[in-house]
Each structure stands twice: as structure tokens, then as C-alpha cells.
Amino acid sequence: MIRRRTVRRRGAFFCTVALSMAAALPLLPVPAGAQQSDRAREFGKKVRCMCGGCNDTASTCFHVGGAFSGPCETAKATLKTIDQRLLKGDSEDLILQSFVQQYGPIVYVEPPHSGFGQIAWAMPVVYLVVGSGLVALIISRWRKRPIHAMPVASGVSAEMIARARQRVARETED
């Protein structure tokens, strides 16, 4: 019993240490250069390119603009700003908010989960719920319908329909 408790304590200790180390990882000094740029490019996927000619993110913007450019100049400038601010130690939230202040909510690559943006997220769920309801209603109505009851329009007899069907079959034979 005592041994089991000791093992549990040790486990808890190691878990705490491991979690603390994992949590502290972002605080460790990051080598300058490539790794920061990678982080900037990763974060740039959350910010829309504001050139006005595309729907890409700052990181994935690759439409051609100007001589031998990769991403357009706007996207490059955005990535540079992100890179510099990350190097300064600004948090991603802070950087994102500064872009929102500068450009408005359009800078988000996906609608925000607040305000009017919530409607965008709710819409697909509403479609699915309403659609499923309609399908359920249709199924229930079809289930209740008497077998072979064929409602026909006024002036069209079942015999006429049968004759039309025969003709259809004849004319559409391959």
C-alpha cells in the first residue's frame, strides 16, 4: 500500500516536472533567424493578406504582384511586421488585435466567434438541423402514405399516365 502511494507520488512529481518544462518551453531563448521566421509564417496563417486582390493569408499569399515577388508586397510587409513584433516579445493576441485595429475585422481569416461573425458559424449548423428536420418530415409523410395511392392532376387519368409511361419506355429504349 505504502509502495503504491510512493509510486503515485513519484508519478505525480514527474508529471508536474514534465508539464512545467513543457509550459516553460516557449520562454526559452529562441535562436534568431529561421526559427523566428517560421513562427512568423505560422502566425501569418491567421492574418489575411490585405492587398485587396486575393483571399489568401499573409503566409500563403502567392499571387503574382510585381517583379519576381513571392507573396505580394502587402503580405511581405505584414510578415515582416509580425516577425519584428514576435522578436520584440509581443504576444500573438496583441499582434492580431493591432491588425484588427488597423484594418477592421476583415483581417481575420475566419469569422470571429463573437458579434456578427457568430452568424457565419451558426449558419451551417442551422442548415444541417433544418435539413435533417425536413428529411425526417418527408420520411414520416412517405411512411404514412398509402401504398400505390397515386395522386393525379385533374384531367389526367391513371390510364393516361400508364399509356404515357409505355410510350416513354418505347421511345427511350437504347
Site of interaction with other proteins (CB under 8 A): 34, 37-38, 41, 48, 52-57, 60-64, 66-70, 104-112, 115-117, 119-121, 123-124, 127-128, 131-132, 134-135, 138-139, 142-154, 156, 160-161, 164-165, 168, 171-172, 174
72 Cβ contact partners less than 8 Å away, ≥ 6 residues apart: 49, 51, 53, 54, 61, 63, 64, 65, 66
Angle at 145 between CA 142 and CA 148, to 5 degrees: 110
Find the shortest distance in angstroms from Cβ 135 to other proteins: 5
Q: Coil, strand, or helix at residue 90?
A: coil
How would you write 145-162 as a 3-class SS string? CCCCCCCCCCCCCHHHHH
Judged by beta carbon, residue 20 or residue 84, the one nearer other proteins is 84
79, 44 contact by CB (below 8 A) = yes
Judged by beta carbon, residue 20 or residue 97, the one nearer other proteins is 97
Judged by beta carbon, residue 22 or residue 34, the one nearer other proteins is 34
Judged by beta carbon, residue 7 or residue 119, the one nearer other proteins is 119
Find the shortest distance in angstroms from Cβ 172 to other proteins: 4
Find the shortest distance in angstroms from Cβ 54 to other proteins: 5
Rounded to whole angstroms, the maximal C-alpha distance in the chain is 92
Find the shortest distance in angstroms from Cβ 169 to other proteins: 9
Cell reading at 41:
509564417
95, 78 contact by CB (below 8 A) = no
Judged by beta carbon, residue 11 or residue 105, the one nearer other proteins is 105
Find the shortest distance in angstroms from Cβ 127 to other proteins: 5
